[in-house]
């Protein structure tokens, strides 16, 4: 293993606070927990080894800066280190690791950029704990509605406010993590693809054009809880039996819409809560959570409309009532075209074949893109598996990603060099 690959391997373990990436239960580092904090400590150590200046902001994001001059503009690159329950060690960590590695590559090559470069480790990107995603990058971009969030609880009833204060932050100053527009020039995130388009198209890197933000619906059906043994079939209002045909309907309609559109749509009934969820009681209330994504916002809205119409019709023909609530409806984000071109150029110069694609998942970059010119690159991950203990990206692909970031940073910071040969690919 080359020195750089060895370094990536070691630092990947460190960022995951583990001595082996093979974990049957994966990694669980929820938002603003001790586990996330331990990973942040590892980030701090590695950044300090690279002689970066590490600062924590008021939202718990870490900024590790290669400070060239206080007069020079600052460009940033990074991702996050928190995970879902039993997630993988690459979603987020890959971007943080490759950003740090790109600094190492530049430093090892004796380059001095003409701009400051910050590697940022955003806090709490995943929504697994509070149902709210990208808290850290929302704060940086000024998109966080602190009042709305303060009392949002996790499964144990601990609120975001309590969790952040327990994390060592001060809720009153949380939103001071916002950066002024002139404090940053641009932002780049690297992430694992969480899909297989790069591999399917025989490429090595993906340059992302748009990020498909979700529409999320909460569908609640109200029936009548009653004893399963004593309530005749014709006297029951079973909320679960009543609403359940909606579940395959969502899948069918998504497939149908995909046939008539160039841009893909995905839709999932991903959560269910039954009341009382007891073997001898007829379900009196069912709540389904539906996640709909496409970079084509009109396609998302078409499916949401079909679901609402379906629920209205079900309600008319049956005894139970149905409510449909829109939890989230965010327009999709298109990334900066100039940065996309520079990323394409960085791939060309490092000799890696890049494809253009869209992101089905939200990432910190979608917040940063609202305020600053921003870019997103994908590296492949095994079989597209993510949010799962089997999530995996090879050290080779992490190395490629690091080289592409380093090359992009050279272009952005005015230290571009001659076209490189492809030796890096096998190092």
The least CB distance from residue 128 to a copy of itself, in Å, is: 6
Kind and range of the H or E run holding 62: strand 62-66
Contacts of 2 (CB under 8 A, 6+ apart): 427
CB atoms within 10 A of CB 283: 25
Residue numbers at the binding site for a copy of itself (CB under 8 A): 84-86, 127-128, 131, 133, 193-196, 212, 214, 216, 224-236, 238, 240-241, 244-245, 247-248, 250-251, 254-255, 258, 264-272, 274, 276-284, 289, 291, 293, 359-362, 384-388
Rank residues 105 and 357 by Cβ distance to a copy of itself and give the closer one: 357
Structure tokens at 42: 């590892």
Rank residues 307 and 403 by Cβ distance to a copy of itself and give the closer one: 307
Give the dihedral sign, CA 137/141/143/147.
Answer: positive
Query: DSSP states of 345-413 as a string?
Result: HHHHHHT--EEEEEESS--THHHHHHHS-EEEEEE--GGG--SSTT----HHHHHHHHHHHHHHHHHHT
**3-state class (DSSP) for residue 55:** strand
Rank residues 60 and 362 by Cβ distance to a copy of itself and give the closer one: 362
The least CB distance from residue 164 to a copy of itself, in Å, is: 21
Distance CA 203, CA 208 (A): 13
* Short-list 140, 136, 162, CA closest to 151: 162
Rank residues 88 and 375 by Cβ distance to a copy of itself and give the closer one: 88
**3-state class (DSSP) for residue 251:** helix
Rank residues 67 and 155 by Cβ distance to a copy of itself and give the closer one: 155
Q: Which residues pair with 220 in a beta bridge?
A: 287, 323
Rank residues 7 and 392 by Cβ distance to a copy of itself and give the closer one: 392
The least CB distance from residue 308 to a copy of itself, in Å, is: 18
The least CB distance from residue 331 to a copy of itself, in Å, is: 15
- Give the angle 5-405-137 at the CA atoms, nearest 5°: 110
Query: DSSP states of 185-217 as a string?
Result: SEEEEEEE-SSSHHHHTT-SEEEEEEE-PEEEE
The least CB distance from residue 286 to a copy of itself, in Å, is: 9
The least CB distance from residue 226 to a copy of itself, in Å, is: 6
Structure tokens at 50: 């690279």
Rank residues 16 and 386 by Cβ distance to a copy of itself and give the closer one: 386
The least CB distance from residue 245 to a copy of itself, in Å, is: 6
Structure tokens at 373: 């010119």
Helix axes 93-108, 395-412, angle to 10 degrees: 60
The least CB distance from residue 334 to a copy of itself, in Å, is: 16
Distance of CA 334 to the CA centre of its chain: 16
The least CB distance from residue 56 to a copy of itself, in Å, is: 27
The least CB distance from residue 177 to a copy of itself, in Å, is: 24
Distance CA 280, CA 227 (A): 6
Peptide bond into 276 cis (omega under 30): yes
Rank residues 20 and 280 by Cβ distance to a copy of itself and give the closer one: 280
Distance of CA 330 to the CA centre of its chain: 15
Rank residues 255 and 313 by Cβ distance to a copy of itself and give the closer one: 255
Rank residues 112 and 313 by Cβ distance to a copy of itself and give the closer one: 313
């Amino acid at each position: 293993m080359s020195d750089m690959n060895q370094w990536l391997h070691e630092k990947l373990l460190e960022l995951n606070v583990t001595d082996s990436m093979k974990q049957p239960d994966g990694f669980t580092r929820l938002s603003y927990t001790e586990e996330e904090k331990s990973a942040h400590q590892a980030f701090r150590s590695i950044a300090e080894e690279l002689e970066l200046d590490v600062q924590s902001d008021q939202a718990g994001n870490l900024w590790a800066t290669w400070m060239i001059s206080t007069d020079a503009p600052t460009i940033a690159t990074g991702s996050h280190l928190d995970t879902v329950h039993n997630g993988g060690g690459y979603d987020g960590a890959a971007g943080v690791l490759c950003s740090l590695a790109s600094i190492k590559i530049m430093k090892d090559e004796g380059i001095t950029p003409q701009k400051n470069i910050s590697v940022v480790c955003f806090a709490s990107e995943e929504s697994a704990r509070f149902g709210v995603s990208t808290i850290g990058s929302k704060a940086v971009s000024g998109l966080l509605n602190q009042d709305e969030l303060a009392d949002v609880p996790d499964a144990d009833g601990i609120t975001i406010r309590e969790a952040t204060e327990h994390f060592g932050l001060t809720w009153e100053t949380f939103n001071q993590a916002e950066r002024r527009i002139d404090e940053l020039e641009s932002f780049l995130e690297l992430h694992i693809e969480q899909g297989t388009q790069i591999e399917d198209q025989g490429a090595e890197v993906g340059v992302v054009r748009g990020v498909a933000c979700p529409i999320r619906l909460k569908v609640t059906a109200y029936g009548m809880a009653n004893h399963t043994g004593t309530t005749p079939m014709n006297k029951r209002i079973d909320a679960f039996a009543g609403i359940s045909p909606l579940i395959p309907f969502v899948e069918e309609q998504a497939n149908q819409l995909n046939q008539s559109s160039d841009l893909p749509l995905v839709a999932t009934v991903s959560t269910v809560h039954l009341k009382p969820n007891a073997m001898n009681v007829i379900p009196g209330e069912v709540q389904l959570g539906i996640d709909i994504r496409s970079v084509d916002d009109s396609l998302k809205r078409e499916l949401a409309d079909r679901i609402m119409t379906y629920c209205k019709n079900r309600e008319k023909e049956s005894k139970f009532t149905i409510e449909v609530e829109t939890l989230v409806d965010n327009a999709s984000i298109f990334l900066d075209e100039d940065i996309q071109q520079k990323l394409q150029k960085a791939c060309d110069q490092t000799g890696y074949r890049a494809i253009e694609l869209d992101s089905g998942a939200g990432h910190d970059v979608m917040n940063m893109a609202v305020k600053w010119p921003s870019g997103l690159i994908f590296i492949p991950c095994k079989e597209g598996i993510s949010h799962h203990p089997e999530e995996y990206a090879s050290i080779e692909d992490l190395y490629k990603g690091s080289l592409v970031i380093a090359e992009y940073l050279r272009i952005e910071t005015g230290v571009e060099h001659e076209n490189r040969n492809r030796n890096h690919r096998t190092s």
